[in-house]
Structure 1
Amino acid sequence: MSEPTQKYSITMPRDIAEAARARSGHSGLSAYVASAVARQIERDNLNELIAVAEAEHGPVTDEEVQVLRERLQAARQAQRTSRGTGSHAA
């Protein structure tokens, strides 16, 4: 069962509304906008968490970010490789 909904009136620039309507597909504009707002709330929550962490531990350096990006990329590559190996071994 989905969450209860309520009707709201919002104002946005026409070009943005038309682009959203064009991209919303079968789910409709309301679902498209709700999804976009949910993603923005997730980003806002993450930014708040980062601010708290940086206040406690100091800012993350560019070097630390790069190391983590490289680890993530390596993990994704390993995952793709293991999927490819598993699908051909029959």
Structure 2
Amino acid sequence: MSSTTRITVTLPSEQVAELRKLTDNVSGYVAEAVARQIRHQLLGDDLRRYEGEHGNFTDEELAEARAKIFGTAGTGQRTDAA
């Protein structure tokens, strides 16, 4: 198990109330949210670096990526609710 560090985080009361409705393990929930955000940031950094070296992604490359992510066979339409 990795080591941990106790910190204090200040959140709006409404968010804390909703968070407590979602989980009994607030620390675990917040840790996973932070890990997800870090992965998102690192991926964005990698994509910007790649485009800086190789040029912008083409529409075809983006459609292929969306198809792989969302299973849409390159239609450009997302299958999730977002």
TM-score bracket, shorter-length normalisation: 0.7 to 0.9
Task: Pick the aligned partner of 1:29 from 6, 26, 29.
Answer: 26
- 1:58 matched to 2:55: yes
Counterpart-to-counterpart distance in 2, 1:58 and 1:15: 43
Pairing 1:18–2:47 present: no
Deviation at residue 59 of structure 1 after TM alignment = 1.5
Unaligned runs of 5+ in 1: 76-90
TM-score under structure 1 normalisation? 0.67
**Which is greater in Rg?**
1
Q: Give structure 1 regions of 4+ aligned residues with deviation exceeding 3 angstroms.
A: none
User: Higher mean Cα deviation, 33-42 or 12-21?
Assistant: 12-21
**Per-residue CA distance 1:22-73 (angstroms, 9 max, x = gap):** 1124xx1011001100100000110110110010011113332113323x22
Question: How many residue pairs were aligned?
Answer: 71
Aligned equivalents of 1:7 and 1:68: distance in 2? 39
More helix by share: 1
The CA deviation at 1:14 is 1.6
Using the size of structure 2 for normalisation, the TM-score is 0.73
- The alignment-based identity, stated in percent, is 35
CA-CA distance at 1:9 after TM superposition? 0.3
Letter in 2 for 1:65: L
Runs of at least 5 residues in structure 2 that lack an aligned partner in the other structure:
74-82
Other structure's SS at 1:65 match: helix
User: What is the letter of the counterpart of residue 12 of structure 1?
Assistant: L
**C-alpha distance in 2, partners of 1:5/1:68?**
36
